[in-house]
């Protein structure tokens, strides 16, 4: 999910509000040993050449592939191919079934694009009106937001106008479609629908934000409604959901404009929520889950917070473990690896490494952008167009390589990078670049 707003100035620094009493050597060891996904979208291991949805199959934004270069040539890794003609947009890419998918804007329409892994076009289909605005400062930021979701030969995509469609992934033929505004008595959010929908088993989860369903579950095969939840307060939060297993509940974790929440995947009942509202009422960054903990963050002066879920009645009570002004992530995403958080802040400006259980800053360097992880390395894409390769360690900020990207337009580099099948994929506006980052 991508969104963009003017950034007000905010204070920086850190304030620990609740000290965590379970910081033990045992937990430290668990963090070091547990390298597996922390929030899960399904139980299947990541397949080579597949990155089926936004932030990967488990939504942790970490590739399980290994053997990549630890340093790049001065001008960056070899550019294998470039795709042009995607139109405006900030949609990232997904890969599944030997094909690659993304979305873009032409005139007032959002289009789905399918390419083979050599960058050759396979099909192109429209999917509803694209987001436009009369705000003078934002007119150059229009275009696609959500990343297509691939599952077992079907491609699901939500347009900015709320048209949710299932396509045959090989041909682009429509299988079913739902209009969220009509079906759930909703209005198109101020900045358009932006989430990348989540598929789990036979269920598809999406947030219409409507009177007849803020959060809903659909049958992925037919598009029919399985359950709706109308108990979540606030307007659209613009982030995408993750799945968490804890305390006997499988739950989807998402955010509205003023809170983060967990909903039972079977019944749709609200299990917990915690107030979290910034100056703009925009919670853009996806949650990160680990055991009983949920890390949440937002820009516009809010900062970040670690929440502990304590079983209570039929759900959970959400307890604040710590809260910080640091890593007030705008929309670039955060990585949890070996007990440390890696990501950038907006008002606090900089790339950060924070201790997960305490929120203490370990290191900081200048910049702001989006990030993904593979093979012990962070792929840090600065919003101005520089890609850095950084060792994922709390010891120090250790940059191994960097290079300047080509331009695909005049907008910021806000589409999240993807590492899959030995390639680094970077979308910038009208173009998609594929780099070979495998062994020499």
The total domain count for the chain is 1
Encoding tokens for residue 413?
A: 């580099």
- pLDDT recorded at residue 354: 98
The number of angstroms, rounded, from the C-alpha of 342 to the middle of its chain's C-alpha atoms is: 14
- pLDDT recorded at residue 18: 35
275 assigned to some structural domain? yes
Encoding tokens for residue 355?
A: 């201790």
- pLDDT recorded at residue 315: 97
- pLDDT recorded at residue 113: 98
pLDDT tens digits for 368-404? 999 999 999 999 999 999 999 999 999 999 999 999 9
- pLDDT recorded at residue 37: 35
9 assigned to some structural domain? no
Please give the residue range of the domain that contains residue 169.
Answer: 14-436
Contact 414, 428 (CB under 8 A): no
187 assigned to some structural domain? yes
- pLDDT recorded at residue 146: 96
CATH at 99: 2.130.10.10
- pLDDT recorded at residue 43: 35
- How far apart, in whole angstroms, are the C-alpha atoms of residue 144 and residue 102? 9
6 assigned to some structural domain? no
Encoding tokens for residue 42?
A: 């399904």
pLDDT tens digits for 198-251? 999 999 999 999 999 999 999 999 999 999 999 999 999 999 999 999 999 999
Q: Which segments of the chain have a pLDDT < 50?
A: 1-45
pTM above 0.85, yes or no: yes
Give the alpha-carbon dihedral of 435, 377, 388, 11, to 10 degrees.
140
By the 10 Å C-beta count (0-12 exposed, 13-18 middle, 19+ buried), 247 is classed as middle
427 assigned to some structural domain? yes
- How far apart, in whole angstroms, are the C-alpha atoms of residue 333 and residue 344? 8
4 assigned to some structural domain? no
Angle at 216 between CA 251 and CA 159, to 5 degrees: 115
Residue 220 CB contacts under 8 Å (≥ 6 apart), including other chains = 151, 154, 156, 166, 199, 202, 203, 204
- pLDDT recorded at residue 8: 34
Contact 371, 29 (CB under 8 A): no
- How far apart, in whole angstroms, are the C-alpha atoms of residue 30 and residue 25? 9
Cβ atoms within 10 Å, residue 29: 11
- How far apart, in whole angstroms, are the C-alpha atoms of residue 354 and residue 300? 19
């Amino acid at each position: 999910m991508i969104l963009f707003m003017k950034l007000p100035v905010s204070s920086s620094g850190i304030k620990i509000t609740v000290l965590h009493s379970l910081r033990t050597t045992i937990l430290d060891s668990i963090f070091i040993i547990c390298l597996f996904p922390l929030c899960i979208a399904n139980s299947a291991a990541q397949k080579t050449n597949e990155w089926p949805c936004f932030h990967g199959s488990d939504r942790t934004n970490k590739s399980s592939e290994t053997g990549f270069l630890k340093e790049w040539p001065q001008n960056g890794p070899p550019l294998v191919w470039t795709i042009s003609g995607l139109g405006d947009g900030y949609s990232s890419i997904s890969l599944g079934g030997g094909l690659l998918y993304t979305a873009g804007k032409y005139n007032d329409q959002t289009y789905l694009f399918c390419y083979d892994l050599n960058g050759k076009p396979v099909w192109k289909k429209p999917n509803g009106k694209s987001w436009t605005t009369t705000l003078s400062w934002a007119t150059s930021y229009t275009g696609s937001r959500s990343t297509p979701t691939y599952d077992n030969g079907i491609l699901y995509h939500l347009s900015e106008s709320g048209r949710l469609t299932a396509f045959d992934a090989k041909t682009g033929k429509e299988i079913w479609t739902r209009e969220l505004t009509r079906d759930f008595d909703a209005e198109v959010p101020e900045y358009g629908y932006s989430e990348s929908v989540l598929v789990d088993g036979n269920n598809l989860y999406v947030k219409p934000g409507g009177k007849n369903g803020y959060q809903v579950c659909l049958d992925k095969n037919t598009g029919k409604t399985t359950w709706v939840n109308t108990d979540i307060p606030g307007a659209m939060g613009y982030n995408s959901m993750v799945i968490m297993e804890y305390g006997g509940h499988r739950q989807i974790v998402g955010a509205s404009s003023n809170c983060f929440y967990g909903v039972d995947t079977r019944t749709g009942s609200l299990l917990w929520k915690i107030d979290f509202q910034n100056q703009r009422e925009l919670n853009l960054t996806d949650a990160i889950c680990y055991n009983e903990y949920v890390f949440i963050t937002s820009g516009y002066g809010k900062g970040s917070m670690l929440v502990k879920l304590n079983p209570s009645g039929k759900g959970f009570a959400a307890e604040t473990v710590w809260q910080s002004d640091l890593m007030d992530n705008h929309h670039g995403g955060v990585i949890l690896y070996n007990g440390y958080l890696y990501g950038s802040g907006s008002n606090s400006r900089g790339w950060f490494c924070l201790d997960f259980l305490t929120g203490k800053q370990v290191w900081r360097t200048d910049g702001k952008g989006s990030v993904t992880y593979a093979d012990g390395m962070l792929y840090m894409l600065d919003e101005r167009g520089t890609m850095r390769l950084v060792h994922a360690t709390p010891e120090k900020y250790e940059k191994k390589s960097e290079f300047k990207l080509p331009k695909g337009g005049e907008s910021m580099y806000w589409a999240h990078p993807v590492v899959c099948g030995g390639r680094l994929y970077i979308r910038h506006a009208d173009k998609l670049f594929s780099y070979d980052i495998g062994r020499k």
